[in-house]
Every structure is written in C-alpha cells, then in structure tokens.
Structure 1
Amino acid sequence: MRPFWLQQALDQEEAAPCAPLAGDSRCDVCIVGGGYTGLWTALMLKEQQPTLDILLIEADTCGAGASGRNGGCALSWSAKYFTLERLFGVQEAVRLVRESEQSIRAIGDYCTAHGIDADYRLDGTLYTATNSAQVGATDRVIAALERQGVNSFQRLPLAQVQRLAGSHKHLEGWFSPAAATVQPGKLVRGLRRVALQRGIRIHEQTAMTGLQQGRQSQVQTAHGTVHADRVVLALNAWMARAFPQFERSVAIVSSDMIITEPYPQLLEQMGLSTGISVLDSRIFVHYYHNTPDGRLMLGKGGNTFAYGGKMLPVFDQPSPYEPLLRRSLGEFFPALADARIAATWNGPSDRSVTGLPFFGRLQGEGQVFYGFGYSGSGVGPCHMGGQILSSLVLGLDNAWTRSPLVNGPLGYFPPEPIRYLGSLMVRNAIRRKEQAEDHGRRPRRLDVHLARFAAAAGKADKG
C-alpha cells in the first residue's frame, strides 16, 4: 500500500523509476536513504562541491518512508524551546529556533527556484486549546520566547481563532506566521527530480544489507557493493533495526492520518481557505490542515508502539485507528461528520528521548555519518539535518558541526520489555487523562502522574 500523499505524487509525475544497483560502484559519498534527510544532504553537498560524485540508494522508492506519509506540517522548534534551553543553553536554543524558522522559508524558496510544485503554503500555524485543561498550556513557552527576542506568536481573539481554524471546538489560540504546509509526497519527489538533474546517481529498490567501515567504506546490497570515501546513513525510523547500538535511542510509534474527498465549497464556508495548520495542546496532538484541492487532512500521534524497534506490517496498511480519527473529525467539524474518506494511513516515527533529532559519526570515528530521531516533526527540521550532515561530510568547522546536536543520542529508553510495556501504560494513561479533561472531569491522580513521563521525555512538545 502507498500512503495517500506519495501515491498522489506518483500519479502526477512521468519520471521513470531509478534502476536498482547492479554490480559494484565507486563514489565520493554514498547516501543510504531517499527521504528528506538523504536528498537534502545530497543536494546541499552538490551545491557546495559540484564535482562530488554522490550515489544514493533507497530500499523502496524515494519518499516511501516518513517523507511521503507525514502530515505535511512544516513547523519550527519554537514550541520546543524549553527542551532546547535545558539541553543546550540559551544561546544555542535561540539559534536553533531561528534556524528552524529559516529552514521553513528556505524550503519554499527552494521549491520556487527549482519548479517543485509541492503545494507549499507559508500561511502559518495555530496552537490551540480544545478543553479548559489545555487553556494556558502555551503561555510559559511564549513568555520565554518573548524574553529571548525570538517569539513569532501572538494571541488572537477567540472569534478569529475559531474562524481561522474552521471550528468552534477551540477555546484559545496562538498564531505564528513562521510555519507552512506542503504535500509531502510532491516535495520529496521534487527533491528527487532535482537531485537527478544535478547528476546525483540514485538507485531505488536497493536496500543496504551490510556496511564495512574503513578508509574506504563498503555499502553492501543484494546485487552489488558501493565503495565510498564517505557514507551518510539517512534511515530514520529504520536506523534502530539496521544498527542495534541505536535500538534504545528511539521508540518507534505511529502517527495516523485521515483525509477526506474534496469539499472545497464546504471548507470555504467553514473558513478553511488558507494553508494554515492547526494543533491542539494534547500530549499526543491532533493536527490538521486543508489542501489546495479542498480536502481536509487530520492526524493524531502516539498510537501504535513497536516492540524492539521493529517495522510492523501495520505501518504499511490503512490506519487501524480510523474510527478514532473519524470521531475526531466529526468533533472538530460537525459538517464533515459524514464526509467521504479518501484514505487513511499511518507510519513509523522515530521518537527520541528528547523529541529532537541527533547526529554524529558511527562509532564516534571514521567517515560514516548519521542523523535521525526527528520524532514525527521532520518536514522543516530535515532541512536543518541536511545542513548538519553535509557540513560533517565536508569536514567544515561551523555552527552546525559545533552544535551539541552532533553529540549522538542525548538519552536512552529502558530496555525491552520495560520500554514497550511502559509506553503502553503511559499512552493509555494519557488517553484516560485527556478523555476526562474533554468531559470536564478531573483525571485520576495516577493518570496525571504517568502522563508526566511523556512530558519529561519531550512528548509534550508540539509539531
């Protein structure tokens, strides 16, 4: 099964698949993974050193992973400010918030410059409250951003919030113009097209089966070996499966999405006439936005947890949480309660302990580099990931290579089965807590206590 975004993008392009690798090959840089991280890294390397011979391999087709099945919300790290400050200090936290906002704009500029029709709309985002317990949840981080001179949010009058969000379910809202929405599949396929035009060699249907490090690394595949001076591992959620040393550095959890058939006139009547994204203040947030052809996409994170970081078959199937998503759709938009659903899907998100990605050298030395752990919010940050990885590959001394983000995993989850059982226990406690709050009841003390574990692990960050 292809997720909706990727299938729509494939249906609208005429490009032929890239042939699988057959036989041995030699290159300067081998990139493993054809999603946002791998493609941005390849393109940025080419921009800085056009003579580099870059070869990219992808196990499926470019965009088949998270890059072609996410919610399409390009968000900054503003809401993660407290986590950034706690881990890295004020100066780096401020820099990363600014860079995350710049990456969102840079993606749009790149699409314009290279003719990538990714439905990019720089229309901002709304962070809202949908029950009384959520009211005020964003105030502290907004105040901190304001103190550091990096606040892009403003509180809007309730009537304006409900009009922009297209729903009366929202009780308050903060708006930031520093956010965009995209059609994720079109974006990743557009990056693939530009990469091919730049002379980057791409082999799809070519999975890495082994890696030997050395002065010249060897990336092994089923039908050939790539000999490369430098290697970039851009596997994201698949990284923990390929390299057991990272198994405890991320938890694999699904984000599930639903999208309607086109209802352009109805959405216009509801007030959903722009590309604004809307996120509530739950721990596992609801997020939604419309599309230029008049569809409504709604998603929710924190559903299926994978034991031991395994890629479950359900990740390539329609969402098993369709009834939950349909109910949420009807609660936000009563007029869409009986809307025809075009598709549901889900996919694995590599959730790090901090909610932030991390980068580094494999085994701390050599010329094999990695970056993953985007925690379900990679559309914008993968552009930063490309800057980090390309800088590491080129051996540059800059703010990216000096960033503490390149210090590898910043924390570890407990071993199995503790991680899996604990994740389910915390997830279910969060559900009970938020259900009680939705109905105006005080949640059980134990559920509140267990929910704090998710917040401590960075799960309370939005986007």
Structure 2
Amino acid sequence: MRPFWLEQALFNDGDLAPALQGEQSADVCIVGGGFTGLWTAIQAKQKNPALDIAIIESDLCGAGASGRNGGCLLTWSAKFFTLRRLFGEAEAIRLVKASEAVVQHIAAFCREQGIDAELRQDGTLYTATSQAQIGTLDPVMQGLEACGIKSYYDMPPEEVARRSGSARNLAGVYSPIAATVHPGKLVRGLRRAALNMGIRIYERSPMLDFSTDHPAIVRTPCGSIKAKKLVLAINAWMASRFPQFERTIAVVSSDMVITEKCPELLEQIGLTDGVSVLDSRTFVYYYRNTVDGRIMLGKGGNTFSWGGRIAPVFDQRSPYEAELTQALHDFFPALRNVPVTASWNGPSDRSVTGFPFFGKLNGASHIYYGFGYSGNGVGPTYMGGQILSSMLLDLDNEWTRSPLTQGPLGHFPPEPIRYVGSIVVRNAIRRKERAEDEDRQPWMVDKLLSKFANAAGKADKA
C-alpha cells in the first residue's frame, strides 16, 4: 500500500526513475532513497560537485518512513537533558542549536530549488492533556534557559486551547522554531533536486546483497554498482538485514489517520496555521492541519516487531484506526461527522538513546551507515546528511568529531525478553495514562513499569 502522502505527491509528479540495469560504477553508492539517503547525496555533491553519486531505492523514493511520517519538522531542544547526559553539556548545546538551524536550512533549500513542500514555519506546541502532565516539561525548560538556548515560552491555558484548536489541551509551551511539511512532496522534491544536480537515482532496484571488498559491489535483480564508497541509509530495515544491529533498535509503529477536507470547520475551531501539537504522554498524540484543510493525527508506540523484522502490518491500514479516530474526536468534537480519508502506519527505528547513530560497517573504512531516528526524522535526517557527507569526504569537522559517529550507544535485551517486555511496559503505560486522563490514581505497578519506557518518542521530563 502506497503511503497517503506519497500518493498525493505522485499525483502531481508521476515521473519514475529507471531501475538499475547492467553493470554500473560510481564514486559513491547510497542504498535508500529516503530523507537520509537524499540529504547525504545532495550535501556531498554540494561539497564536491565532481563526485559521481548513485542512489538505489527498493521501491520509489519516499515509499519508506520518509513518506509515512506526520510531517512535523521538530528540533532536539526538548531532549536537552538526554543529550547532555550522553554527550556532555557543550556538545548537547551544539546539537540543539544545529537541530534548530535545520529548520531554516530545509526552508532555504526548498526556496532555492523551487520545492513546494507545503512548509509552514508556525512553530510547535508541547501540551498537557491531563492534570498529571502539567509541569512535567518545567525542568527541561529551566535547563535550556540556564544554558541560554531556550526558545520556548509558556502560554496561558486559554491561549493554548485557542492556538491548538482544542480545549483538551490544558497547558503548554510554545516554540517558534519548528515547521510542518508535506513529507511526500518534500522527499519527491529532494529527488528532483538530486537528479538536477547530476546524481543518478535508480528506483524499483532492491539491494540483494553487497560485497565488503574495496571497491564494494552492490547487486540488484537486474544489475550491479561497483562503488569506492557505500552508504547504507535504510533505517528501520537495517535490523532485519544486518544481525549485528538487531538489538540496537526496536522497530515500533507510528500510526496515523487523516480526515477529508474540512477547511470551514478548521476555521471555526481556530486551527488554521501550520503549528504542530504534541502532548506530554510517553507515546505522544501529535496532530496538525494541512494546507488543503485536513487534520492529521498520529500516535507512536503501538505495534512492536519481533527481532527488528518489518512485519506485513507496517504496509497496511493502521490496525489502530478506530482508536485514533476516537482520539481525533476527543480533541475535536466538531469533526465527528467528518470522514477519515486514510489511515496508515510505518516502522520507526527507535534506538536505545532516542537519537540516531552513525558509523562504519564492521570497521570497513569505505562502508557507512546511519539510522535510529526514533520517530523524529524529518529534521534530524538533514543532520544525518551533514554527518554522512562529511564522513564520505573524510572531513575533519564538528560532525565527524561528534559522538553521534561512534555507532550504537547501548543495546536492547535479546528476544523474547525485548518483545514481551515491550508489550508489558506498553500496556502498563496505557493503563497509567488512561487513569490520569480520568483523574484517577494509577496502579503503583503501572507507574513502576512505565519508568522502563524508552524516552525516545517524547520530550525529556527530568
């Protein structure tokens, strides 16, 4: 099933790249035509225009996670405490600033290349939808302020409700440094820009295998590419292809629904700009409106895969469509009679830390990888391109010196402990947050189990 966003983008851009045929060669071969692969190719080409770069994509560019996300272009500022704990204060501050700069970088690139990605720089709201969530972001806000990098400010409750379009949001903080995009139009726009720069793209060309010799040889059903350097940018699909990464990520679904067009109702409830709204639960609800007058709502942490394998459910309508539709109606009672156009889900590659990691495959000096975006990839994939392009060109800069290039920082338990534990903790979180939504005291065991949750999908709380 094609992602909803990609179907919309292809309606206006039916151009398909050819499949790889015969024996080819390149300076650099990038496996994966999503945001990471495209940004890496584009930035490497910008730094060295003479570089011969080829991208192979198993389906169409954007058919994976890049075309299935909610289109929220967020920063790492709300995860400052985790960054500081992992990498130290100086690097944490640098990464927060770099993630904020990405919003402008992507906006500028779209302007320069004439990409209509429906990018709207209207900021983001982190909200509380229960009394238990109120104030949970205060510590990280104070930490950002102490380091002089706080872009958020508190909003009065009535302003939070007005700006978010929903009285369910009881409190919140707002940052203007965020945007929303049409992910399908962005990824297809990057594809066109890459082609215009002379980067070769082969779609419908799945990698069958590759050699680790130098040069590397990547084989597809109808051809092969011999490359001096190889980049693996297949994200959630890495764990199923490379056993060494099986315990470095947990593949978890993010499920979404989107309504039919209803611009008049959106005008009535006040949700008329491109602000993104995320609540403060562990597996957040997030929503935004679209340029053509729809509302998209999503929630992560629903379906967990066994051993990092990409299950068939990830390519189908969301099995949580009914629950998401009910949540949509809880946020927006006025939309109860508006049909849901589509639902979908996609695999999110959640790392132990909640941040992506990069490195060289098995220590091979010419084979690079980057993945683990943990459900927040629209902006950070640009940073992934900065890192991987710098590594490809053997540069000595703040990106190649970053601890993000040291590979995975931690591992999940082996199966079946990881899978069973994930389900137990997920269900405890659901019970705990349901009690909080109903202003009841959660069970102590659920509160204890909830502490085991990976914080990758949410803002820091302490």
Query: Aligning the two structures, in what range does the TM-score lie when normalised by the shorter sequence?
Result: over 0.9
What does 1:44-193 align with in structure 2 at a 5 Å threshold?
A: 44-193=43-192
> Which residue type is aligned with residue 177 of structure 1?
P
Alignment match, 1:5: 5
Segments ≥4 residues shifted beyond 4 Å: none
Distance between the aligned counterparts of 1:397 and 1:79, measured in 2? Answer: 29
Distance between the aligned counterparts of 1:377 and 1:297, measured in 2? Answer: 16
Q: Tell me how far 1:459 sits from its aligned partner.
A: 4.4
Distance between the aligned counterparts of 2:405 and 2:210, measured in 1? Answer: 21
Distance between the aligned counterparts of 2:371 and 2:14, measured in 1? Answer: 31
Distance 1:112 1:127, change over 3 A: same
Distance between the aligned counterparts of 1:329 and 1:36, measured in 2? Answer: 28
Alignment match, 1:384: 383
Distance between the aligned counterparts of 2:88 and 2:210, measured in 1? Answer: 36
Distance between the aligned counterparts of 2:12 and 2:175, measured in 1? Answer: 32
- Does the 8 A contact of 1:252 with 1:350 survive in 2? yes
- Does the 8 A contact of 2:375 with 2:457 survive in 1? no
Distance between the aligned counterparts of 2:457 and 2:197, measured in 1? Answer: 38
Residue 208 of structure 1: SS of its match in structure 2?
coil
Distance between the aligned counterparts of 1:214 and 1:145, measured in 2? Answer: 46
Q: Tell me how far 1:232 sits from its aligned partner.
A: 0.6
Distance between the aligned counterparts of 1:364 and 1:163, measured in 2? Answer: 53
Distance between the aligned counterparts of 2:457 and 2:119, measured in 1? Answer: 27
Distance 1:460 1:450, change over 3 A: farther
Distance between the aligned counterparts of 1:362 and 1:154, measured in 2? Answer: 42
Distance between the aligned counterparts of 1:393 and 1:265, measured in 2? Answer: 50
Q: Tell me how far 1:382 sits from its aligned partner.
A: 0.2
Distance between the aligned counterparts of 2:458 and 2:107, measured in 1? Answer: 28
- Does the 8 A contact of 1:213 with 1:366 survive in 2? no
Alignment match, 2:459: 461
- Once the two structures are overlaid, the 10-residue window that deviates more, 264-273 or 213-222, is 213-222
Distance between the aligned counterparts of 2:219 and 2:420, measured in 1? Answer: 35
> Which residue type is aligned with residue 194 of structure 1?
A
Distance between the aligned counterparts of 1:209 and 1:231, measured in 2? Answer: 14
Alignment match, 1:358: 357
> Which residue type is aligned with residue 216 of structure 2?
S
Residue 454 of structure 1: SS of its match in structure 2?
coil
Q: Tell me how far 1:365 sits from its aligned partner.
A: 3.1
Q: CA-to-partner distance for each residue in 1:329-363, whole Å, 9 max, x for gaps?
A: 01100001221111000000001011100000111
What does 1:153-302 align with in structure 2 at a 5 Å threshold?
A: 153-302=152-301
Identity of aligned residues (%): 60
Q: Tell me how far 1:12 sits from its aligned partner.
A: 1.4
> Which residue type is aligned with residue 26 of structure 2?
C
Over the aligned positions, Cα root-mean-square deviation in angstroms equals: 0.9
**Alignment size in residue pairs:** 460
- Does the 8 A contact of 1:259 with 1:344 survive in 2? yes
Distance between the aligned counterparts of 2:172 and 2:120, measured in 1? Answer: 20
Alignment match, 2:340: 341
Unmatched 5+ stretches in structure 2: none
Residue 351 of structure 1: SS of its match in structure 2?
strand
- Once the two structures are overlaid, the 10-residue window that deviates more, 186-195 or 360-369, is 360-369
Distance between the aligned counterparts of 2:314 and 2:100, measured in 1? Answer: 30
Q: Tell me how far 1:218 sits from its aligned partner.
A: 1.1
> Which residue type is aligned with residue 377 of structure 2?
G
Q: Tell me how far 1:22 sits from its aligned partner.
A: 1.1
Residue 24 of structure 1: SS of its match in structure 2?
strand
> Which residue type is aligned with residue 143 of structure 2?
A
What does 1:306-325 align with in structure 2 at a 5 Å threshold?
A: 306-325=305-324
Q: CA-to-partner distance for each residue in 1:207-262, whole Å, 9 max, x for gaps?
A: 11112112211112122221000011100000111111001000000000000001
Distance between the aligned counterparts of 1:222 and 1:419, measured in 2? Answer: 34
> Which residue type is aligned with residue 461 of structure 1?
A
> Which residue type is aligned with residue 370 of structure 2?
G
